[in-house]
Structure 1
Amino acid sequence: MRLLRHTTALLAGLLLAGNVMATEANYGYQEHVENPGIFAMVGDLIIARPIGAAITAVGAAAFVISLPFTALAGNTAEAGQELVVRPGKETFMRCLGCTKSGYGRKQQDESL
């Protein structure tokens, strides 16, 4: 059972990596629009989103634990940004299967 879970996670990761490499050429543009495929969407739903939610929760806990130290050092905003906000955006603020947060899915031409 454990081998099956590891194999499934590896395959989903490879599918997601293929989607990232296929869209990597578009990163230089001002507006990044994606049209993810079914494998990217399924991999995102099953693997990436739960992991992102867990990372966000762990980051929030780490932020609360480190709050006395970051407050004394004066970098509470930076710690909150990196530990909570950025993982939360990557998890909840992007379309299913997309690789960048804040960007939308490419609209299909309805005249076809």
Structure 2
Amino acid sequence: MRLLRHTTAVLAGLLLAGSIHAADSAAFGYEEHVENPGIFAMVGDLIIARPIGAAVTAVGAAAFIVSLPFTALAGNTAEAGQELVVRPGRETFLRCLGCTKTGYGRKQQQESL
């Protein structure tokens, strides 16, 4: 019971930290090009978002294979592959830990300094 309470408190804190960060950026009317996520965003991303993203990528790849005969006949194989496999894969594997936008945000920050 104690472990369940502790886990619930940690997950609630992660969700709250992410929403505060998003609200803070929106309140000042700017989008950060390079993000500096905090520890809660990184842990939440590592434990929750990345495994879900990997699963969505795998399911999308399976759906793409199943739909391949139909998309080939319709002529939109590239669009189906982009939306079912490439896009979820990019969101899963090409984001810095805790970042909300795709890309290597931390490298860009170090190069610009």
The CA deviation at 1:10 is 5.5
Q: CA RMSD in A?
A: 2.7
Q: Which runs of 4+ in 1 moved over 3 A?
A: 4-10, 12-27
* Structure 2 runs not aligned, ≥5 long: none
Aligned length: 103
Partner of 1:42: 43
Name the TM-score, length of structure 2 as normaliser.
Answer: 0.75
Give the Cα separation in 2 of the matches to 1:63 and 1:9. Answer: 36
Determine which structure has the larger helix proportion and give its number: 2
Give the 3-state SS of the residue equivalent to 2:98 in structure 1: coil
| 1:90 matches 2:57 | no
Which residues in structure 2 correspond to 1:1-112 (within 5 Å)?
Answer: 4=4, 7=8, 11=12, 12-24=14-26, 25-27=29-31, 32-105=33-106, 106-107=109-110
CA change 1:65–1:22 in 2 (3 A) is: farther
- Separation in 2, partners of 1:67, 1:103: 31
Instruction: Give ranges in structure 1 of 5+ residues lacking alignment.
Output: none
